[in-house]
Amino acid sequence: MNELQLKMCDIQGRLFELSGASGYDSVTFIKAFMTSEVAKGLDSKFNRMQWAGEEYLLAEIADNAELTKGGTVYDKEVLYWAGYLYRFWHFATGEDSKDIYRQAPAETMSRNWLIFHTLAPEVAIEDLKEIYRQKNEK
């Protein structure tokens, strides 16, 4: 992982954290972001969104998605970790944000944060992928 990629992971983590500080329902925000054109742009080799800060990214999502304030707002640590790990996951595997979200939706990330946030990101990703595989074998 190069320095720019790690910076993008941090920005996405701060974006998710900012969504909570702004009072957006976490499940709604995370789904809206991970399935958005903004996330698709961040997944590409080069896109102007990759140079944007978290405030700009949040404004883009808020302008283009039906976000709700209130509801369940995850702790800032959970939000930062989820945002960071989703972007790291993309860089580590090349999978796009929509596919990553399908495997690990917001509820899965929140439920597993307590244990998985202490793991190396690569290990957490493999464990999340395994949870998804086991869930879909049934």
Per DSSP, the residues of 30-71 read HHHHHTSHHHHHHHSSS-GGGG--HHHHHHHHHHHS---BSS
Strand segments (E) across 56-109: none
With CA atoms as reference, report the closest residue to 79 among 13, 25, 129.
Answer: 13
Domain ranges for the chain: 3-137
Structure confidence by residue, pLDDT tens digits, 5-20? 999 999 999 999 999 9
Structure confidence by residue, pLDDT tens digits, 104-137? 999 999 999 999 999 999 999 999 999 999 998 8
3, 31, 107 from 102: Cα distances, Å:
27, 9, 11
Structure confidence by residue, pLDDT tens digits, 60-91? 999 888 888 989 999 999 999 999 999 999 99
Q: Which residues pair with 24 in a beta bridge?
A: 69
Q: How far apart are CA 97 and CA 76, in angstroms?
A: 21
